[in-house]
Structure 1
Amino acid sequence: MADILDWTNADLDQLDMATYEDKAGDMAARLREETGAGRLPFLTMPYAAELKKQLAGLKGYLDGFDHMLLLGIGGSALGARALQKAFHPEQDRPGHRGKWLWIADNVDAYALTAFMAKLPPEKTVVVTVSKSGGTIETVGQYFIIKEWMKERLGDEWAKHMLLVTDEKQGFLRGEVDAFGIRALPVPDNLGGRYSVLSAVGLIPALFLGMDTDALLAGAREVADVLADPALSGETLAGTQAFRLAAWGAALMDKGFTEMIFFAYIPLWASFGDWFAQLWAESLGKEGKGSQPVPAVGVTDQHSVNQMFMDGVRNKACLFLTCPSLPAGPKFPADLPDQFAYVRGKDFGELIQAEGLGTRMALSSSGVPLVEIQVGADGPKQAGKLIGLLGAATILTGWLMGINPLDQPAVELGKRLAKARMDADGLADEKADLNVFLTAQRDLREF
């Protein structure tokens, strides 16, 4: 089955799409410039051929472990978790006996202590992901796990470590050089939220036995057109990535300040969290942007869908479906009369009916909606989805007049946290922190 976007309920007649569609020529020129200069590796994937070789050489090494502990945060973890949940759900089900992927993506002392207490270090590989090598939440865990590995494995500890970081510089690159730890690079100009189809996401995917070639091939189906050195405005205007971008920008002009990502492929629900970082960190700048809201079908029909349907009319929706999900077991034939409508039907029919009903209800309630329908829930389609949403996000940012590849506001909180831990320098941040901490607080028990 084909992978399609259904624009029927996108409310295009209510939006000023032409304002942005007329910029296709300018956007094509910018894409040619940026890809030609090597600044958009998400689209050009110049690293792909070498990465395939590196992954092939790594497979035998990874096959020697039962557990992978991934240390990373944000884009260093969200893509890996989405792929794990989509294509290796057995870990969450009874009786699992295969590979185990554990993701430490927070400053969580309970979890880190449990990993050290319960994981067998001799059967565990620790993958630390930080492009800069200075992300304290990640590198801090690395320091602690490194000591744990040394205590339990002695001189063999470094053989159980794998670093994914900058190819030339940073603290973790220094660890590679000092201890001979295996390492794969994060390509230059590839930000964390765009990095899932690099070593960042594909190492855990390979460990779990996913088809990494299919993931990359799916993304290339979307990206190759956009990275073509001869890309024209007419060709760009015909791509679904550009049309999504024009739709997203036009929606914001009309006051649609929330973008729901409603996943009616249960195993793909974690792509909502991945999309939330992608959309929010890329577009939330200079007082602009729309808030991404991940939602899971059918679960959230019974919770936040009330707000979507009957709350403030500021919401649009990307609605993810797959018509070829498994049929599952059949409902019994001897059900009570009040449930006669499902007698003998496949359990899988229910989610298709629920998805159709929710899609129609949202549209009738004034929620502009584009359905992303994948023909199958396989890795190639996941790669296409990643490529589509990543490209659409970049183009949306450009149409908005902002840079979708940086995240300046995120850095302030990081600097203040370092000041609180008494890092060197940061005099201004330490002064601001002192004012904040010594201010009179309004404290009340509850």
Structure 2
Amino acid sequence: MIAKKTIKSEKISSASFFTGIGGFDLGFERAGIESAFQCEIDEFCGSVLDWHWPNLKRFNDIRDVDSSSIPETQIWSGGFPCQDVSVARGWLGREGLKGQNSGLFYPFANLIRERLPKVVVMENVTGLLNSHNGQDFAILLHTLEKLGYGVAWRTLNTRYFGAPQSRPRVFICAWANSTSSAYHVLFEGGQSYLPEKPRLGFLRESRCDVTGARVPEIAFCLAATSGRHTGTDWSRSYVSYESEVRRLTPRECERIQGFPTNWTLPNEDYPLEGVDLDSRRYKATGNAVSVPVVQWIGERIVKELRQSSPDLFEFSLFDGIDRFGSHTPELSGKRAQKVSLPSISGHDDAPKIKWGNGGVVEKGVCLMGATTQYPLKPVSSRLIDVLDKFRPDDRYFLTSNAAEGILRRVNSQGRELFAPLATALSRLQSSA
């Protein structure tokens, strides 16, 4: 048997780009990977990073980074800005990779080309899969493949990794000269099943005996705007009481993302406090990558780098890219789809591409399908367990006008709210 080249005793380290508040760094460190470099342009996020990694080499603008200044590491990570590809932009339109934010993928790709790290991990919103009729994702995959990487991608949802929030995100793993290794990082092989329908987590009630707070088991996806009071936003998670309703606090949002409590407090020199500080903390946490998912990926990267066992696919009965379907049913038979990257990437007249939730890229061919968003052994968690066990400041509670606005929007759209929330909003509205 031919064993894979491994690094059994060598220290494993990572460089993070678009670092934010350090979600990749923290998740990787929990997996035994040392942080060696960071790049983050936002001043507030930089202050948070200064607090947790005071001695780490850090750049601000990725466009100013000289590749020779990046320490030698096996792993690079980056969640390049999602504003231009996020479905949350809705009617405002999406510029995709041509936008000034997500277009920062290109300087990141140039740095990859100049240094060629062994492993690259990226994260983005699921809107990346259909941005510009699927062309943006095709360009991303083709770029990595032309640089000599085997590539795998998979949509993973935070709620199945031990954090009580429904947050589907696309994770991309590129591994130098090895599609098999990229696959092993994101796919376990075999068939996984959920014990119940995902929707039940939004309907089933949990209650805190100490505070009387009532919430569903699972929160909606945190957004960068989670700190705003609004009478139109019903599609977020609120904490309900008998006749009061509040938004989640920054501390609670941190825990929902898998960060320790008060992770987003900046260093002592940062000049904000109160509501202004809350706003920055909400935004930074809402834009962050979920730590438990990164830890799961990091552990699999470490295992792949260190193991000396033969490649799982070395003696597969299937040739070429079809071998991946022998271990992931969604990538086999009629459930799978193949496309040629060179024929679709960067062509103005290319047809619309409907990318699957997951897949692999090898020798210019993509194999993809409707892969699951959860690991073989999903980890459950409850929103009630991350809530503060005391009454927060009054500024986190909704006004009667906000309650009226939410109910009006819900009724006009024919939506159905979590039952305790609907009751509390009605009582709050009536109290005016």
Higher helix share: 1
Q: TM-score, normalised by structure 2?
A: 0.31
Higher strand share: 2
Q: TM-score, normalised by structure 1?
A: 0.30
Specify the structure having the higher radius of gyration (Cα). 1
